[in-house]
Amino acid sequence: MARRFAGGAVFSAAMAAGAMATVGVATAEADTETQVVSCMPTAGQSCDPFAGTGPGSVQYSALAVDDQASALRLFGPGGFLIGNGLDALDLDPDCTANCAGGNGGLLWGNGGAGALGGAGGSAGLIGNGGVGGAGVLSVNNGMGGTGGDAGLFGDGGVGGAGLSASTSGDDAAVGAAGGTGGAGGRLFGNGGSGGSGGSATSEAGDATGGSGGTGGLSGLFGNGGAGGAGGAADSTGGELEGGATVRTRTGGGLFDTRREDTYTTTFTVTAGTATGGAGGVGGDASALIGTAGDGGAGGDATTVSGVNAATGGAGGAGGTGTSLIGDGGSGGAGGAGENLGSSTEIRSYTEVFTRRNIFSGFTLQSTTDNPTVTGSVAGAGNGGAGGDGGDAGYAGSGGAGGAGGTGDTDSVAAGVAGTGGAGGDGGNSGSVAGSGGAGGGGGTGSGNLLGVGGSGGTGGAAGSLGVGGAGGTGGTGTADGVGNTSTTIEFPDVIGDVVADLVGVDILPSTVNASGTGGNGVGIGGAGGAGGDGELFGGAGGAGGVGDGTQTGTGGAGATGGAGALAGGSGGDGGAATADGVADVTGSLLLGLATLTIDGVPVGTATGGSGGTGGTGLFGGGGGNGGSGTGSLTGVGGTGGAGAGNATDESGVVFGGQGGDGGAATGGTTLTAANLSSSLFGLSQDLPLPVGHATAGNGGDGGAGDLVGGAGGTGGTRNHANPFDLLSDEALQQVLGALINGDDIDFDFASIADLIDATEAQGGNGGSGGFIGGAGGTGGQGVFELSGLLELAGDQIDLGSLLAGLGDIDLEALGIDITSLNIQTGGDGGTGGEGGFIGGAGGAGAATGGLTPTFPFLPDAVIGISGNGGTGGEGGALGGAGGDGGDAFALGISDGGDGGSGGQGEDIGGSGGNGGTGLGAIASGGDGGSGGDGDVAAGSGGSGGSGIGIIDAQGGDGGDGGTATSSGGSGGSGGGALSVGSGTGGDGGNGGAGAQPGRGGSGGSSTTITGESSGGSGGEGASTDEDATSGSGARGGRGGSGTSVNGDATGGDGGDGGDGAERGGNGGSGGFGGSAAGTGRGGDGGDGGTPGGRGGSRGAGTSDSGSSGESGSSSDSSGSSGSSD
């Protein structure tokens, strides 16, 4: 009882003095000297006054009252019950290694800090663990001390930093690992962060940073500790050291009387490999609720070695989430790897020997030191890989992958790259709920000659209530080198022919390899990371990285989307590419007898990355878009990725994914000043030489689906100014011949339109479908900058003559700079996909024409020639409709695209696509597409497009009807024309053959103000088969009306009726012709078919009616002339 009373008195006195007010404050002393109970545990027993005797409890073998500092203190710093644990060197000032921090009070208190590699002290029931001590060489090879653990409530202590290392000479330096973080409170608390790895510095040897410490575990409720950062590594470089001396001999042969020996030694700085320390792994979360710790960042690395690499440390992996609810930790970022390189010196001297004659020996005459040649050299620089994201618990999202580190080198040696680190993979989600972690982005890779971006990480997988993680974006690859370079100069055949006529000899090959000084850097973007799979929803694929170089830029490929039972992820977009270098080059021809010299020629070729394929699922993922390519010489757009489809019967795609759009391209925009010279032929000729090309990417194909096929993607846009990619050889020969001979160029815009021969990107094809095929994609657009053609022509072209075909339009008076205008051409639409029941529609042709920024009501194109529609897909019952032709809107010439043909159907053919509308000074509508064939009924032809013009307008012709066993398709109607000047309606399409033939389409109408106006003729009605015994021929289409205010007008003729086995088809009526101030004549009626088809009625006119059609011959003479149809 006395013993307990004494302790109780102390406790009461402390309470009275307010000693428990603050943790870490020493217990207040009473007015009288307080007795301190000192408990000395015996071996195997602990000192715990609140427990009984036995193992782990107190055995009171001795009690003493003293005033020594080492006596047990209940409260305050170092207090047994309440108070922070003492720091290690406060606890034991004489400690020299592995000094552990003191524990916190049993009830309340933080652990003390460790020192010299010792562990941090543990906390009490409430409190944080102490920090681990920094590492020292004598303990655990310099590893940092472990952080102290928390009790029930509190955070674990931070692990101690690893010991750094520094060496001289070529000795290796290795940093020590950081200490592990302490565990969080068992109930509530976060794990402590891992300690940082020690840095490493070596003068000429290898340097390796220490790895970061692992993060501490969390409590039941809490987050895991972050992993420690990896240590940096640096190989700084020693003195210049010479390599082997090489002798080079000149002369000294059997009949020589002089000899020169040159001795060359290359001096370089010696340095080792540098490797950053790996980041520590994030601490796991505990069993209930909490997020795992993030992985530590990898350490940076730097070297100046000319041969050895600098490699950043890998990022640490994220910790694992709780087994109940919790997200995985994110992976750490990879460290940077940088190779700065070093200077080199090439020292040499030359010894000269002579002899009097070939029979005597050589004698040294002189020794001369040659000028020292300086340079630089560098090895590779590699970024560290990003750490993988941690997996989640039962419910939770996976951690994101860490980003790859940057890699950089100053090397000027071929093939030595700065390479970005790969992104880490995303962690998997919980099995019940949560999304997969996103993959980390690839690191940037940069160099003089070669830079390669790191690949993106793969997205994490997801459970039933989540989405697969998105793949990481590929890293950028960039190279800005300028130096020795080469390029290929192309000579189209037309240039060779012109030069051959000039000099009388064919001296130009199709290509010339030229070399010189200019852009020589190659940048390659990293590939995107694949999207993560999901039980229901797949993740999106990562985009490809950007590729940027002075000579070559290549965008990274987009990645495939993840699979999901319900919906697949979309494919990643292809990376963009740029290459902007120029060079001064010279090439030889005819075995050196002729020379080609070009200053400032573009050498940059850029190729956009292809889009990734969509992931499989009930709804297939769409393909990624192709990356753009922008090159000073050549630009190539990436192809759009294919939509997900049933590559195998097990894919399970019911609705095919849509194809991605093709990438845009810019190239061939420069006219170079080339000089072709030859002393043999007495030639020195300046050639304005357009160089380079642009090719936009085609749209990706739609995926196949068990029910519906996916639509094709849209073709990319091409921006260029190379006339060789626009005009036919006939036009180019005229331009070049005029340039060389100093003659004028005498064609106008109207004739240019007829000479255009350009091919643009196509829309992707639709995917096949078990029920309905996918639609084809829209074609891509081409934009030719008119400045390129005008620059090529120079003073030899008269702008007035060039504009003559547009009438009296004065562009300069309107404030329009002709050089700011363009010529636009359209690509064709893709083919519709095959369908088990209905075929997919063909894609639309690309439209042309936009609006000028100065006058938003005027088009920016002086010529627009739009793309044709794609063919409809075949169908088990119904063929797909043909795609419509693209509309055209241009200041000068505008030609609408033709409609695509309808697809064949086993029962009913698809209808043809309609022609596109043309709107411009001189405008033409596109022709309608032909109808598809079918067994029961054929498809009708598409209608011709309208022409709306100022000077002249032409309506497009209607498409012909398809052929069928039973009912032939009707011909399409001709397109109308509306013009201030002249106008002509399009002719109607002819009907298709069948037991019941198709009728002809009506001709298009025409309306003008001042010029002539002519309606289009009606299409012919189809006839029955020659061996048919029954059936009537189809009637012809009626002619279109022609009307004008001041000009003469003529109605279109009616189409002839088809012949029939029993009766011929009636002829179509002639169209009305009317004019207010001019003559107006009606169109003639079409002739009736044999036997007995009535002729079409004559068309009325304001001045004169047309003639009636002749009736078809008949054995009973039942036909009559002039009847209405």
Residue 783 scores a pLDDT above 70: yes
- Express each pLDDT in 527-561 by its tens digit: 999 999 999 999 999 999 999 999 999 999 999 99
pLDDT at 510: 82
Residues 964 and 1024 in one domain: no
Q: Is 1040 a domain residue?
A: yes
Task: Determine the Cα–Cα distance for residues 924 and 893; give it in Å rounded to an integer.
Answer: 8
Query: Which pLDDT value is given to residue 44?
Result: 35
- Which alpha helices (H) appear in 458-561, and where do they start and end? 493-503
Q: Mean per-residue pLDDT for 1064-1075?
A: 98
Between residues 66 and 633, which one has the greater pLDDT?
A: 633
Residue 936 included in any domain: yes
Q: Within this chain, do residues 819 and 772 fall inside the same structural domain, yes or no?
A: yes
Residues 1039 and 1101 in one domain: yes
Q: Is 987 one of the catalytic residues? A: no
Let me know if residue 924 belongs to a domain: yes
Query: Confidence band (pLDDT; 50, 70, 90) for 740?
Result: low
pLDDT at 678: 82
Compare 794 and 233 and report the one with higher pLDDT: 233
**What's the pLDDT band for 245 if we cut at 50, 70, 90?**
very high
Question: Pick from 376, 400, 417: which residue ends a domain?
Answer: 376
Domain check: are 843 and 934 in the same one?
A: yes
Looking at the fold, whether 912 and 1048 belong to one and the same domain comes out as no
- Residue where the block lists tokens 């000659």: 449
The single-letter code of the amino acid at 634 is: T
Nearest Cα to 989, choosing from 894, 1045, 1092, 913?
913
Per-residue pLDDT reduced to its tens digit, 925-975: 999 999 999 999 999 999 999 999 999 999 999 999 999 999 999 999 999
Domain assignment present for residue 765? The answer is: yes
Q: Are 977 and 1005 in contact (CB under 8 A)?
A: yes
Which tens digits make up the pLDDT trace of 593-636? 889 899 999 999 999 999 999 999 999 999 999 999 999 999 99
In the structure, what pLDDT confidence band is assigned to residue 1049 with cuts at 50, 70 and 90?
Answer: very high
Residue 181's contacts (CB-CB under 8 Å, 6 or more residues apart) are: 146, 147, 156, 157, 158, 159, 191, 192, 193, 194, 195, 213, 214, 215, 216, 225, 226, 228, 283, 293
pLDDT at residue number 1125: 46
pLDDT, mean over the chain: 88
Q: Are 566 and 537 in contact (CB under 8 A)?
A: yes
Confidence of residue 226 (pLDDT cuts 50, 70, 90): very high
Q: Which of 497-506, 745-754, 915-924 has the highest mean pLDDT?
A: 915-924
**pLDDT band of 27, cuts 50, 70, 90:** very low
pLDDT of residue 968: 97
The pLDDT of residue 1068: 98
Which of 66, 82, 97 is at the close of a domain?
66
Cα distance between the two ends of the chain = 130
Same domain, 841 and 956: yes
CB 408, CB 418: distance < 8 Å: yes
Q: Regarding beta strands 822-826 and 310-311, do their DSSP bridges make them parallel or antiparallel, or are they unpaired?
A: unpaired
SS in 3 state form for 72-109?
Answer: CCCECCCCCCECCCCCHHHHCCCCCCCECCCCCCCCEC
pLDDT band, residue 39 (cuts 50/70/90): very low
Question: Which pLDDT band holds residue 765 (cuts at 50, 70, 90)?
Answer: very high
Indicate whether 62 belongs to any domain.
yes
Structure tokens at 20: 């428990």
Cis ω for the linkage preceding 723 (within 30 of 0): no
If you average pLDDT over residues 232-252, what whole number do you get? Answer: 93
- Active-site entry in 87, 261, 391, 410: 261
250 vs 785: which has the higher pLDDT: 250
Question: How high is the pLDDT of residue 813?
Answer: 65
Indicate the range of 73-87, 165-179, 439-453, 994-1008 predicted with least confidence.
Answer: 73-87
Q: Please give the share of the chain, as a percent, with pLDDT higher than 70.
A: 87
Q: Is 154 exposed, middle or buried (0-12, 13-18, 19+ CB in 10 A)?
A: buried
The answer on 843 and 950 residing in a single domain is yes
Tell whether 321 is covered by a domain.
no
User: Same structural domain for residues 748 and 874?
Assistant: yes
Could you tell me which of 1056, 1064, 721, 702 has the C-alpha nearest to residue 873? 702
**pLDDT number for residue 859:** 82
Tell me how many domains the chain contains.
Answer: 4
How far is Cα 314 from Cα 269, in angstroms, rounded to an integer?
Answer: 27
Q: Quick one: pLDDT at residue 688?
A: 74
Of 400, 396, 471, the residue nearest 431 (C-alpha): 396
Asked whether the predicted pLDDT for residue 15 surpasses 60, the reply is no
Question: Do 864 and 727 share a structural domain?
Answer: yes
Tokens 């996916």: give the residue: 710
- Whether residue 989 is predicted with pLDDT greater than 70 in this model: the reply is yes
| Region 1081-1099 average pLDDT | 97
Domain that holds residue 888: 700-968
Name the residue with higher pLDDT: 878 or 672: 878
Q: CA 606 to CA 242: how far, in whole Å? A: 41
Higher pLDDT, 1062 or 76: 1062
Q: Verify that 1096 and 1026 share a domain, yes or no.
A: yes
Domain boundary among the residues 946, 968, 990 is at 968
Quick one: pLDDT at residue 20?
32
962, 1024: one domain: no
Number of alpha carbons in the 13 Å side-chain half-sphere of residue 664: 9
CA 498 to CA 738: how far, in whole Å? 10
In this prediction, residue 568 carries a pLDDT of: 96
| Residue 7 pLDDT | 34
**1041 plus 963 within the same structural domain:** no
- Whether 822 is covered by a domain: the verdict is yes
**Average pLDDT for 468-477:** 98
Taking residues 767-790, what's their average pLDDT? 90
Quick one: which of 985, 1003, 900, 897 has its CA closest to 949? 985
Q: pLDDT value at position 46?
A: 35
Q: Give domain status of residue 274, yes or no.
A: no
pLDDT band at 6 (very low <50, low <70, confident <90, very high): very low
The arithmetic mean of pLDDT across residues 914-920, rounded, is 97
Instruction: Give the list of residues 6+ apart from residue 656 with CB closer than 8 angstroms, or none.
Output: 620, 643, 644, 645, 646, 702, 703, 704, 705, 708, 709, 710, 767, 768, 769, 774, 833
Per-residue pLDDT at 4? 31
Summarize the confidence of residues 398-414 as an average pLDDT. Answer: 96
- Mean pLDDT within 120-146: 96
More confident residue, 19 or 1015: 1015
pLDDT of residue 787: 73
